[in-house]
Amino acid sequence: MNIKIAPSMLSADFANLERDLKTIEKNGADYLHVDIMDGHFVPNITMGPDQVAQLRKTIAIPFDVHLMITEPLKYIDRFAAAGADIITVHVESEGEIQACIDAIVNKGVKAGLVLSPDTPLEILVPYLDQISMILIMCVYPGFGGQSYIPESTEKIRACRQLIGHREIDLQVDGGINFKTLKEVIDAGANVIVSGSCLFKGDMKDNMRQFRKIIHG
């Protein structure tokens, strides 16, 4: 399977974002993972669509926008206009899941659904033929640098089974590092988000190390 790496911007130096995004791109990242938090759905705040639009001009790799906001439907059009290539919405947020998928797809953007650690996979069943990505959170959303929740591995494995032959990417986010990477890949994940691990020290070395683990 083709494994993609999506460094999370949350761990970048926000005083030097352009520099850090260019470093991500230069080191062969497949996507930029952009965490959007509203201080309500999660107890942290990041940025809105205007900032994403400005950042979009700095690099060419696809923007994978993870919405951790209470009312995603209200903002989908604006994140699409800002240049998001993929938009993922939490199934726990307020706002009809079907309406969110429709709004994303209508803008020509790839739609994905996100599950927080306590949310069962079954909720995805009605939408499987309409989405391009499933994101399994391996920590409680809100902050970078948390530890991987071990129960996530079984959930990833079950999710890969649920996907079956459908062309849906299985993304994992939270606590992915040199120790947990192999476990999530073996369980069936194929899009790897990582923030604190990739940004600690030298991104080039860290990406190389990730690729080494991925290719066995």
Say whether 210 counts as a known binding-site residue.
Answer: no
195: contact with ligand DX5 by CB under 6 A = yes
Q: Give every CB contact of residue 7 below 8 A, 6+ residues apart in sequence.
A: 24, 29, 32, 33, 193, 194, 195, 198, 199, 203
Of 23, 24, 31, 33, which lies in the binding site for ligand DX5, with binding defined by CB under 6 A?
33
Closer of 101 and 197 to ligand DX5 (Cβ) = 197
Say whether 175 counts as a known binding-site residue.
Answer: yes
Asked if 30 is an active-site residue, the reply is no
Look at the alpha carbons of 201, 184, 104, 142 in this order and tell me if their dihedral is positive or negative: negative
4: contact with ligand DX5 by CB under 6 A = no
Minimum distance of ligand DX5 from residue 142's CB (angstroms): 5
Tell the residue number behind the tokens 């900032």, with chain if given.
51
Asked if 35 is an active-site residue, the reply is yes
**Long-range contacts, 53-58 (Cβ 8 Å, 24+):** 53/81, 53/82, 53/83, 55/17, 55/18, 55/21, 56/82, 56/83, 58/17, 58/18, 58/21, 58/22
Of 36, 86, 100, 193, which lies in the binding site for ligand DX5, with binding defined by CB under 6 A?
193
Give the Cα separation of 107 and 164 in Å (integer).
27
Give the Cα separation of 103 and 126 in Å (integer).
17
90: contact with ligand DX5 by CB under 6 A = no
Say whether 33 counts as a known binding-site residue.
Answer: yes
Of 49, 174, 187, 189, which lies in the binding site for ligand DX5, with binding defined by CB under 6 A?
174
35, 38, 64, 169: the active-site residue: 35
3-class SS at 200? Answer: coil
Contacts to ligand DX5 by CB under 6 A: 8, 10-11, 33, 35, 66, 139, 141-146, 173-176, 193-197
Q: Report the binding-site residues for a divalent metal cation.
A: 33, 35, 66, 173
Q: Report the binding-site residues.
A: 8, 33, 35, 66, 142-145, 173-175, 195-196
